[in-house]
Homo-oligomer: A and B are copies of this chain.
């Protein structure tokens, strides 16, 4: 088998192709749900007990895992979606995520640890666009039969400054 690895950092080879495909599909459907106004699907990508948080790279590297968003079960994610649909967002906007490929790092306690780079462009109602966030997803992914879900998704942002407008999940 061919490999670009100088040292065996990953357990890639042990992950079946079907599971790898399911993880890629999970990553794609997650961002399509958010970006294409299908946000009601967003909680479905997580397990019932789960962690979702947005945290800066500096905080993450120092082990201060608080962040600006923290949810630890699917109900909290559903509440976020309801709030998003019910309130008037001061300045309407949409996201567009582009992801890099998912790197499989290890397998532990029934979950695959992975990391995936992302860039998010935000478009405001007046048409203005900007890079809103860049960073990486640090995930723990589990399989419930054939279905892959996030048991833990940490959005580790390269920037430590947050716009007050983080109302849509990243």
Contact = CB atoms under 8 A, between A and B. Distances in A.
Closest 6 CB pairs of A and B: A127-B161, A4-B26, A2-B22, A96-B134, A123-B158, A121-B134
Given A28-B101, A96-B134, A158-B94, A21 B2 contact: yes
A130 B1 CA distance: 39
Chain A binding site: helix, strand, loop or mixed by DSSP? Answer: mixed
Contacts of A128: 159, 161
Interface stretch (A12-20, A65-73, A78-86): A12-20
Size category of the A interface is 35 or more
Interface in A48-87: 57, 61
A110 B158 CA distance: 39
A151 interface: no
Chain copies in the assembled complex: 3
Most B-side CB within 10 Å, residue of A2, A119, A147, A148: A2
Interface string A126-170: 111111011110000001001111000000001111000000000
B29 A4 contact: yes
A22 B45 CA distance: 28
A119 B98 contact: yes
Contact of A103 (B32, B147, B160): B32
B101 A3 contact: no
B4 A22 contact: yes
